[in-house]
Amino acid sequence: MPSKPLRVYIVDDSPPVAEVLIELIAVPGRIEVLGVGETEAAATLAIRSLKPDVVVLDLQLREGSGTNVIKAVRADRDLAAVRLIITSNHTSPQLRAGCLQLGADHYFDKVKELGALTACLARLADERQ
């Protein structure tokens, strides 16, 4: 019996970046992108209704912030299993540590670490096999 694909939701306020992420992430039958949110409120609502396996989350959003999305997801017991992967252009060690402390599972530089991001998602998809 084939396993279900890894279900990913992307939160990024830049449509071109979101499109690149979809192209990098989506693997038919293996990794499915459920949608894209651009604001804190829209992302939080979508995550609660879709219950994705993974959220790929930018910190700077059109309205609100990615850190507030981390807090909202981690405060919701129904979403305890959701993996939060931060992608950001801001890569200070303090920011990375702060996001991980809030409950993010991984933190990747949006420019330099996209290969590491896709490798991480591939590992998570492998765990479902």
Q: Tokens for 67?
A: 């850190």
Q: Is 34 exposed, middle or buried (0-12, 13-18, 19+ CB in 10 A)?
A: middle
The domain locations on the chain are 6-127
Q: Which fold has domain 6-127?
A: Rossmann fold (3.40.50)
Closest CA to 52 of 88, 92, 16, 25: 25
Listed in sequence order, the residues at least 6 apart from 126 whose beta carbon sits closer than 8 Å to its beta carbon are none
* Stretch 24-47: mean pLDDT: 96
How far apart are alpha carbons 54 and 13 in whole angstroms?
18
45-73 tens-digit pLDDT: 999 999 999 999 999 999 999 999 999 99
pLDDT tier at 2, thresholds 50, 70, 90 = low
pTM for the structure as a whole? 0.95
